[in-house]
Amino acid sequence: MEIATSTTAVADSRRAAVEAYEALLGRLGGPPDLLVVFPTIGHDIPALAAALRERAGDVPMHGATTCQGVMSEAGFVGDAGVGLGLLGIRDPDGDYGVAARTIGDDPRGAGRAVITAAIAAAGRDGEPPALVWLAADPGFEEAVIAGIQDVLGADVPIAGGSAADNDVAGQWQEIANGEALRGAVVVTAMYPSGSIHVAFHSGYSPSDRSGVATRVDGRTLHEIDGRPAAEVYNEWTGGVIADVLGRGGNVLRSTTLHPLGRVAGEYGGLPFHRLSHPDSVTPGGALTLFTEVEAGERLIQMVGTRESLVSRAGRVARAAMRAGNLGPLELAGALVVYCAGCMLTIQSEIGDVAGEVARELGEKPFLGTFTFGEQGCFVNRRSHHGNLMISVVVFRHGER
């Protein structure tokens, strides 16, 4: 297995696709067996996808739009909000199948259908993949994951990130096998010749403030401990949303360093958490989130800093390496998913994040996207959707 990346800030979509793909071919030494594509919405996504299909032929292609830019071992690309990143896996002894389905009004059914189609595309019917790589429109991730797990069970790791745009305007798109899509879920079933290892963490720590979700409707948290959720949250955070209480409004930027967490398991006696990012307050005092929450779950006020958001991605990359007992010489490359909300909070330092990841991966090729929702597999081998998270997948070289 060989992995290479290429990135470009060229604004012309067709030229960007052609130049990035030709650079990728040169680094790989031949055509890839899987092409991962992360463009910003500053590109004409259908034109870019078509140009890649012209060059790549029938190579399986999996993509989704990224917020503001991409990062790789070469750094961050996207200072003007326009960027394109490609990652190619050249693995003649592995199999990779990409499929897409429209989410529609049955996201769980779409999850079942898309993973079945991806496995068939890989030519591995009846065999669970080593990893499911996922991209979808924001808003339906839990149901899509449940559908995938209806087919595979809960033990196959799922990782990826929700499609994003530059300003939460709903312009995100997906790419599957040369076609640009909207309202879709795209899945790659991976059967590599080498092993895959994953890590899923955040850059946040739990505070001593917590309460029980007592009234919930999907992604709308009405009450914590029987009180309006926005009032409780505002008290916990020292007033970060005080200006919108009673009237409602968007709170994405003011809540990025103060998400809500739920315990997802323990490792070495210490809990680890999956996070929910509050994005708005309703006039009635509810919080809307980018994840679903269930009544009866304990919600913990989490705390982050700019410094932790810069340093954490490298630590997650290190954790993925340790999960496979990998050294840099055994590593072929990596995929990195980094929350767009975190990126926007530390945007001036995002080059430092890329540098930390590159250092931990021994300067091996990696491609990172900035997403509106992150999917990953915790150390207890349970896969979840979360917010303000970092998901890292590392690939070990196959047998030579």
Do 131 and 36 lie in one domain? The reply is yes
Among 275, 304, 333, where does a domain finish? 304
Residues in contact with 221: Cβ distance below 8 Å, sequence separation at least 6, in sequence order: 213, 229, 260, 278, 286, 287, 288, 289, 293, 299
Of the residues 304, 337, 367, the one at which a domain ends: 304
What is the reported pLDDT for 398? Answer: 75
Per-residue pLDDT tens for 336-350? 999 999 999 999 999
197 with 322, same domain: the answer is yes
Domain total in the chain: 2
| Average pLDDT rounded to a whole number, residues 231-256 | 95
pLDDT of residue 400: 38
pLDDT tens digits, 183-194: 999 999 999 999
Quote the pTM value. 0.95
Across the range 2-19, mean pLDDT stands at 98
Whether residue 176 sits in one domain with residue 85 = yes
Q: Is the dihedral of CA 314, 320, 322, 328 positive or negative?
A: negative
pLDDT digits (tens, 9 = 90+) for 72-106: 999 999 978 999 999 999 999 999 999 999 999 99
71 burial class (0-12, 13-18, 19+ CB within 10 angstroms)? buried
109 and 179 within one domain: yes
Q: What percent of the chain has pLDDT over 70?
A: 100
Least confidently predicted of 53-57, 160-164, 201-205: 201-205
User: Which residue, 255, 278, 304, sits at the end of a domain?
Assistant: 304
- Tell me the average pLDDT across 270-289: 94
Same domain for 252 and 379, yes or no, is no
Together in a domain, 49 and 130: yes
Q: What is the predicted pLDDT for the residue at 399?
A: 58
Kind and range of the H or E element at 358?
A: helix 350-360
Q: Both 285 and 335 in a single domain? A: no
Considering only the C-alpha atoms of the chain, give the largest distance between any 2 of them, rounded to a whole number of Å.
64
For 120, the domain range is 2-201+308-396
| β-bridge partners, 273 | 263
Instruction: Tell me the one-letter amino acid at 152.
Output: L
Q: Is the domain of 331 the same as that of 384?
A: yes
User: In the predicted model, is pLDDT for residue 351 greater than 60?
Assistant: yes
Q: 249: domain CATH number?
A: 2.40.30
Same domain? 36 vs 62: yes
Q: Is 120 left (phi over 0), alpha (psi -120 to 50) or beta?
A: alpha
Show the DSSP H helices in 158-304 as ranges: 229-236, 252-255
Share of the chain above pLDDT 90, in %: 94
95 shares its domain with 167: yes
Q: Which amino acid appears at position 376 of this protein?
A: G
Any residues with CB less than 8 A from the CB of 247 and at least 6 apart, and which? Answer: 283
242-247 long-range contacts, Cβ below 8 Å, gap at least 24? 244/281, 245/281, 245/285, 246/283, 246/285, 247/283
Q: Are residues 197 and 264 in the same domain?
A: no
Q: Find out whether 141 and 375 touch, Cβ atoms under 8 Å.
A: yes
Output the pLDDT for position 335.
98
The answer to whether residue 62 scores a pLDDT higher than 80 is yes
Tell me the pLDDT of the chain averaged across its residues: 96
- 8 Å CB contact between 371 and 163: yes
Residues 42-51: what's their mean pLDDT?
98
Given a cut of 70, whether residue 292 has pLDDT beyond it is yes
* Residues 85 and 23: beta-carbon distance below 8 Å: no
Task: Assess whether 216 and 181 both reside in one domain.
Answer: no
